[in-house]
Amino acid sequence: MVQNGQTAAERAEIRENQVNWVLRVRRGDEAAMDALVSMHRQRLIRVASNVLRDRHEAEDVAQESFLKAFREIRKLRDDRAFSGYIYRICVRLCMDRLRSRKPTSEMIEHGDGTSGSKVETKVLVERLLQELTPDLRMTLVLREMEELSYDEVAELMQVPVGTVRSRLHAARNRFRELWIDSTGEAHL
């Protein structure tokens, strides 16, 4: 995984290693599979955790993402694009899980939300995120929590950038409304 403190040469070497590992995976090399898993596993889990709000389910989605990616590696046209490929799979699997979830009474109930503690605020944010539609939630999480660019969100969700912008606008407005309803505070 590329880190912010790395030099351009180090990033290029990592990308080249990834290309070599993808080529080896195509030939059935399990060590190359392990290397790709090690490279991407933590970020996939973080993305899925931020979207699904459940670490165990996120780990399942990450595992499922790798299985699907390796099983369908022949669909990858450019070996340099493996990172985007695996993250698109992860995002789609998260969206599928969000769409299949039934709202629970815990998701629907509204607390008074008046306490200012960090833990209670985090719980409230998680509960309010549950109330957004899967598309709005995914857009908001990828942009605000994962800090991806509009272009990156569009690529992962396989929608135009304009759709990302409109979904993000709708998600922010809906989240703000839910926040005000729950806390009585007009600011986040």
What one-character-per-residue DSSP string does 117-141 give? -HHHHHHHHHHHHHHS-HHHHHHHI
Best CA proximity match to 104, nearest among 123, 127, 124, 137: 127
What pLDDT score was predicted for residue 4?
Answer: 52
Which residue is associated with the tokens 């979207």? 51
Fold match, 1-101 / 102-188: no
What pLDDT score was predicted for residue 5?
Answer: 63
Residue ranges covered by each domain of the chain? 1-101, 102-188
Distance from C-alpha of 132 to C-alpha of 105, rounded to nearest angstrom:
15
What pLDDT score was predicted for residue 124?
Answer: 83
What pLDDT score was predicted for residue 93?
Answer: 92
Dmax (CA) of the chain: 59
What pLDDT score was predicted for residue 3?
Answer: 47
Q: Which fold has domain 102-188?
A: Arc Repressor Mutant, subunit A (1.10.10)
What pLDDT score was predicted for residue 107?
Answer: 44
What pLDDT score was predicted for residue 51?
Answer: 86
User: pLDDT tens for residues 70-122?
Assistant: 999 988 888 888 988 999 899 889 888 887 876 544 444 444 444 457 777 77
Q: Which fold has domain 1-101?
A: Rna Polymerase Sigma Factor; Chain: A (1.10.1740)
- Residue ranges of the chain with per-residue pLDDT less than 50: 1-3, 104-115
